[in-house]
Structure 1
């Protein structure tokens, strides 16, 4: 009799465990997976411009690739190598190239945005360390939804943009 009660109790516990697991699986399936902008936008070929010692500023360049069906934008950037990091572009003002801060860098749905010398870039202002060729600099991008992605951008010699 005792053995029969143990077997019955074990059967009830097993049934309850299976039922609870099934409910948990249904609950997990009911919650849609949320993709953040950082999940949808990848960074290709990042690099930071090497500069001579003593120069206070540099810039980072990369290509942003959006694999989602939604537009996204980079709203800000940060790096431990600089006191201030800003999103910038170059504009031609009556034949004179000028750098200007921009509020965001847009990455269209299923599209690409290239950050390159003479165009959009991440400006590194007030360098906190020497930028040596062959080393890397961490650049963190913050998107419109607050998600972030960090890349370790190689520091490279870059020819100046032709005006």
Structure 2
């Protein structure tokens, strides 16, 4: 059974691909930042992203920006997602104003040009390591 789970995890990784992204440089006093990339499902079955982690932050979550109308006003915000499904043969863009990873509780200030390792976790137990540069944009 264990070999079957390892094989299934390998299959999920074979169908997932990441287009290079970046981590937003924030002032040293700011303890949260965002990471962006494009996640592609090259397979024939859906992928479910259920989490992420990095050594530079206490936790990583992913969010979707949203816009609501309240009392005649437009309210912009973001809401955390418990998971994100990537349909077969499609891409999901994590970019400013859309989906994004929140690196919460930075353990130290990040520096422009440094590389951050982000590990994406999928429902089947597979993990995908992504290396993202810190950039001021």
* TM-score normalised by the chain length of structure 1: 0.74
Question: Matches of 1:37 and 1:47 in 2, distance apart?
Answer: 23
1:45 is aligned to 20
2:94 is aligned to 115
Residue 145 (structure 1) shift: 0.5
2:53 is aligned to 78
1 or 2, which has the higher helix percentage? 1
Question: How many residue pairs get matched?
Answer: 126
Deviation string 1:46-100 (CA, Å, 9 cap, x unpaired) is 2111101110100111001111001112100001111111111111022121111
Residue 36 (structure 1) shift: 2.7
Q: Which runs of 4+ in 1 moved over 3 A?
A: none
1 or 2, which has the higher strand percentage? 2
Residue 148 (structure 1) shift: 0.1
Q: What SS does the corresponding residue of 1:141 show, helix, strand or coil?
A: strand
Point out where structure 1 has 5 or more consecutive residues left out of the alignment.
Answer: 1-32, 159-163
Q: Larger RCO: Structure 1 or Structure 2 (Cα < 8 Å, ≥ 6 residues apart)? A: 2
Residue 45 (structure 1) shift: 1.6
Q: Is the 8 A contact 1:61 1:117 kept in 2?
A: yes
Q: Is the 8 A contact 1:37 1:144 kept in 2?
A: no
2:32 is aligned to 57
Out of 72, 76, 79, the residue aligned to residue 100 of structure 1 is: 79
